[in-house]
Amino acid sequence: MRQIYILLCFFIIKSLHAQYSVGLFSGYTNNHLRTNISNRLFTENKNGNSISTGLIFNYAYKTKIQLQTELALLQKNYSFVRTGLYSGIFTKYRNTYLQLPVIFKYKLLQKCKWVIWADAGFFVSYWVDGSINGVIPNVFNNYYTVDRRGSVTNYIRFSDYFQKHIFSSEKDNRFEVGPLVGITSVYQLNSSYSVFINARFYSSFLSQQKQYTVNQVMQYNQTSVISTGGVINFHAKNR
Higher pLDDT, 144 or 116: 116
23-130+167-234 is a CATH 2.40.160.20 domain: yes
Q: Other CB atoms closer than 10 Å to residue 18's CB: what's the count?
A: 14
Exposure string over 195-234, b if 16+ CB within 10 A, otherwise e: ebebbbebbbebbbbbeeeeeeeebbbbbbbebebebebe
Cα four-point dihedral sign 25, 26, 27, 29: positive
State the number of CA atoms in the 13 A half-sphere of 121 facing the CB.
22
Q: Give tens-digit pLDDT for 92-123.
A: 999 999 999 999 999 999 998 999 999 999 99
pLDDT attached to residue 238: 45
Query: Residue 13: pLDDT band by 50, 70, 90 thresholds?
Result: low
Structural domain spans, the chain: 23-130+167-234
Strand partners, 173: none
Mean pLDDT of all residues in the chain?
A: 89
For residue 10, what are the contacts with CB-CB under 8 A and spacing of at least 6? none
* pLDDT > 90 in the chain, percent: 69
Range of weakest confidence among 6-10, 20-24, 27-31, 69-73: 6-10
Q: Give tens-digit pLDDT for 153-209.
A: 766 778 899 999 999 999 999 999 999 999 999 999 998 999 999 999 999 999 999
Cα distance between residue 59 and residue 14, in whole Å? 8
Q: Other CB atoms closer than 10 Å to residue 105's CB: what's the count?
A: 25
